[in-house]
Amino acid sequence: MTNRNVIRFGGWCLAGGALAFLAVFGYLAATFNYPDVLDGPAGTVLPSLLAAGQRGRFVWAIYALLPLIWLPAGVAAYEALAPVRRGAMRLALLFALVAAITMMLGLLRWPSVHWTLALAHAHAAPPEQAVIAAVFDGLNTYLGNYIGEFLGELSFSVFFLLTSIVWLQSPRSSRWIGWLGVATAGAGFIGMFRNVTSAVAPIAALNNYLLPLFMLVLGVALARWQAGEDATGT
């Protein structure tokens, strides 16, 4: 696969991932009260998860695999912008890899271990349900808050920020894409502290729209990369 095809493939993956993110997010919001459900107790969340059935479990599995689009997207951004700042884009690619792994691990708890906990919770006595609730809370804190949300969101925000800064340093005319990326990364950096203080909740909510928007815009820009075109303008 040539560099141009690698760039375009990664771009289509990023753009398609943005649309898939919106579709899955919308489905979970309508059927599972996502993302507000993330703060709910086991006694409420686990029965709701089980009530979603195998279809809901399948949607969660798709959602958990969506972060893998950071891999081809990171490679595409590197191939496109490395001629401008190779070192910065190597670092951006590294953060894209970390984002893919950590966010996938965080989300995979829902169709796997949380599903198992939901099955056990449905037939457990109250003392056993208390133990299940403690395990549920611990997994949410570790895999959800720290691994998936904090480390994962930190990583893709750094990826976006580095990519956008290098984009702005290139002679490309579409500088607004770079500025949109800087704004998205900034909102991501602030929004990931939503579990620490509710003051940043509006910015976190805004980032739910900025993130897929920038993914779509950057993805389309990479997918339309022309043969012989690089970020140096040659």
Query: Is 9 within a domain?
Result: yes
Amino acid at 125: A
Which residues in the chain show pLDDT less than 70? Answer: 1-2, 227-234
Query: Is 201 within a domain?
Result: yes
Q: Which domain holds residue 25?
A: 3-223
Could you read off the pLDDT of 74-87 as tens digits, one per residue? 999 999 999 999 99
Q: How far is CA 178 from CA 41, 123, 163, 190, 218, in A?
A: 40, 53, 8, 19, 9
Query: Is 97 within a domain?
Result: yes
Could you read off the pLDDT of 190-226 as tens digits, one per residue? 988 887 888 888 998 888 889 999 999 999 999 998 7
Nearest C-alpha neighbor of 107 from the set 162, 28, 171: 28
Q: How many domains does the chain have?
A: 1
Query: Is 232 within a domain?
Result: no
Cα(146)–Cα(127) distance, rounded to whole angstroms? Answer: 28
Query: Is 230 within a domain?
Result: no
Query: Is 117 within a domain?
Result: yes
What's the confidence (pLDDT) of residue 2?
A: 64
Q: What is the pTM (predicted TM-score) of this model?
A: 0.89
